A and B are shown apart, each in its own frame.
Chain A
Amino acid sequence: MNAKTRELMRDVIIAGIALTAVSGCSRQRAEDENQRRYITIKGSDTMVHLVSTWAEAFMREDPNIEVSVTGGGSGTGIAALLNSTTDVCAASREIKYKELLQAAEKNIHPHEIVVAKDGIAVVVHPDNPVNELTIAQLSRIFTGAASRWSDVGGPDERIVVFSRESSSGTYVFFQEMVLNKRDYMVDAKLLPATSAIIESASRDKRAIGYVGLGYALAAKDRVKIVAVKADDKSPAVTPSNETVKSGEYPIARPLYLYLDGEPKGTLREFVDFCLSNKGQAIVTKTGYVAVRQ
């Protein structure tokens, strides 16, 4: 290595150190006044698309702020909030009691905000004659008690059950709401992505699966969305923005943002933005259901 390159390398290293130091300082100062230039959001894979669309719109309004969004799942997001490695956690489920205890231990005060709602649609092949199912029938199908379509008013064929992977918030939600906390049948095929479930349901006449409402509506030419009855006496309700919002559709869930304590400064601005007319319009546009108008 000659002297010139060595000198150049030294300069580069010094410049690097100086830059890191400077940016570190300014960041420190900004955070003292609750005015920050960076917000990190981590959590639910279901919500990644929604949250990153919010983040982009928010950054367009205030170009001085940088918002970074990552997925990983609701559990990962809540863990990150408890470890103070994220400012905001996006979660498609409520924080668990166990996690609240951990939070108390770490002196973190999770603050919950419902920012949108999501319906879970049950999808089958377009040629399947079954148009409506009760929660009890769905439960029997997904636990394996009903194994033929004739058991629930369809043709005499085997039911092929598709589910999300067990790491998905949707899996746990469906298990809790529809299966009444029972286990899924062992034969259920666990697919790693929503798109794979749509793909399978669109190709397989005997298939049944569940996906977020937004995905189902986007794919409604390829799959049939089944209407769901809460019980035998209730009317069958087709999932839509209106029926989820009104609470008529039985398989729906709120989507949350969690922060450490009441949001202040820039975080407050971000949360307010999500709940504003503009933010809620993004909710509808990305396939979820707005909670405010």
Chain B
Amino acid sequence: MKLAWKEKAIKLILLATASTSILIVAGIFVFLAKEAGQFAIEPGLKELLGTRWVPVSFQKESFGILPLITGSLLVTVLATLLTIPFGVGASVYISELARPTERELLKPFIEILAGIPSVVIGFFGLVVLVPLIKTCFGLSTGLTALAGAILLAFMAIPTVISISEDAIRSVPASYKAASLALGASRMQTIWKVTVPAALPGIVAAVMLGMGRVIGETMAVMMVTGNAAVITAWPFDSVRTMTATIAAEMGEVAFGSHHYRALFCVGIVLLVATFGLNMIAQKVLSKYRIG
């Protein structure tokens, strides 16, 4: 009798720890929505659709988040374009071609890359990458969307490699055996059979990498120049949503329009990462069944 009660209690405690994440997610949503909702009432959501982000002004403050969204979008798309060849190439090599000793050497380095704090990567970017971009492309300044995208690619590549490597490994050996038996070369087998079969997993890996990229703050803030302009040109400065929140939350007056506008930016960001993760999970689960 006593034992049953004890067991129940333990089960309850475990349930509580397991559901903490749900509570936290719900709590964050409610918290963001509360502040952002007040912005919707006064001065109204229309204010957010503007093309100017000028939160500190003696004239007129404007809270148009379009330049911030396009800024995040540009950096994320560029980073993804850079990540795909490196991520997929490396995962194919590690899972299909590398000798065991090579794998033993490569894997820890990829894990180390994943573990470097983003502020350290940002510092490296500011001191090494930004001047390099400036001289390579003959720009007036290297603080560009491209610099941010390259740093973000560094951070996304390890994620993409480990997940796509898993996907490629779980392609049934019989597929490869059949292809080789039909006289296809090793390379033909990899590119025509193995990689296409693992494609959904690779797509999911890239999307999870993008989720990491869009939410990354510190490194981007240090190297993108943070000018709130709408542009699709990689050599312009951009201001991302994350950098805006991080840079401005510190000194904003609580309860002001600016404060609430930052929460609206937070919601847009949350919805974007949430969407990306959802799609990635869908793709992954579909692939596992099939």
Contacts and interface: CB of A to CB of B under 8 A. Distances in A.
Interface string B124-144: 001100010010000011010
B239 A190 contact: yes
Contacts of B225: 189-191
Contacts of B228: 186
Interface in B201-256: 221-222, 225-229, 237, 239, 247-254
A171 interface: yes
Contacts of B140: 157-158, 160, 204, 206-207
Contact of B250 (A72, A191, A199): A72
Contact of B141 (A74, A167, A183, A189): A189
B250 A166 contact: no
Interface stretch (B23-31, B53-61, B89-97, B101-109): B53-61
A165 B248 contact: yes
Interface string A148-165: 000000000110100001
B176 interface: no
Contact of B251 (A73, A187, A204): A73
Contacts of B134: 203-204
B227 A190 contact: yes
Contacts, number: 87
B52 interface: yes
A187 B236 CA distance: 9
Contacts of B127: 199
Contact of A189 (B57, B59, B67, B226): B226
Interface in A173-209: 175-176, 181-184, 186-192, 196, 199-200, 203-204, 206-207
A167 B248 contact: yes
Contacts of A172: 56
Interface residues of B, number: 32
A167 B227 contact: no
B277 to A, nearest CB: 28
Interface string B246-278: 011111111000000000000000000000000
A145 B230 CA distance: 19
Interface range, A side: 35 or more
Given A188-B227, A192-B221, A207-B141, A183 B57 contact: yes
Main secondary structure of the interface of B (DSSP, over half): loop
A144 to B, nearest CB: 11
Contacts of B227: 186-190
A273 to B, nearest CB: 28
Contacts of B56: 166, 171-172, 175
A17 to B, nearest CB: 25
Contacts of A75: 251-253
B226 A190 contact: yes
A210 B189 CA distance: 60
Given A73-B250, A175-B58, A189 B221 contact: no
B261 to A, nearest CB: 12
B253 A79 contact: yes
A76 interface: yes
B141 A186 contact: no
Contacts of B249: 167
Contacts of B59: 181-183
A199 B126 contact: yes
A167 B250 CA distance: 7
Nearest to B258: A166
Given A166-B248, A189-B225, 15 more contacts: A72-B251, A74-B251, A75-B253, A160-B140, A165-B226, A165-B247, A167-B249, A183-B54, A186-B227, A186-B228, A189-B226, A189-B227, A191-B225, A196-B126, A200-B141
Interface of B: 52, 54-59, 67, 126-127, 131, 134, 140-141, 143, 221-222, 225-229, 237, 239, 247-254
Q: Which 4 A-B pairs have the closest CB atoms?
A: A181-B58, A73-B251, A167-B251, A189-B225
28 contacts: A75-B251, A75-B253, A76-B250, A79-B254, A158-B140, A165-B226, A166-B56, A166-B247, A166-B248, A167-B250, A167-B251, A167-B252, A168-B251, A172-B56, A175-B56, A183-B59, A186-B229, A187-B229, A189-B143, A190-B225, A190-B247, A191-B226, A192-B247, A199-B127, A203-B134, A204-B134, A204-B140, A204-B141
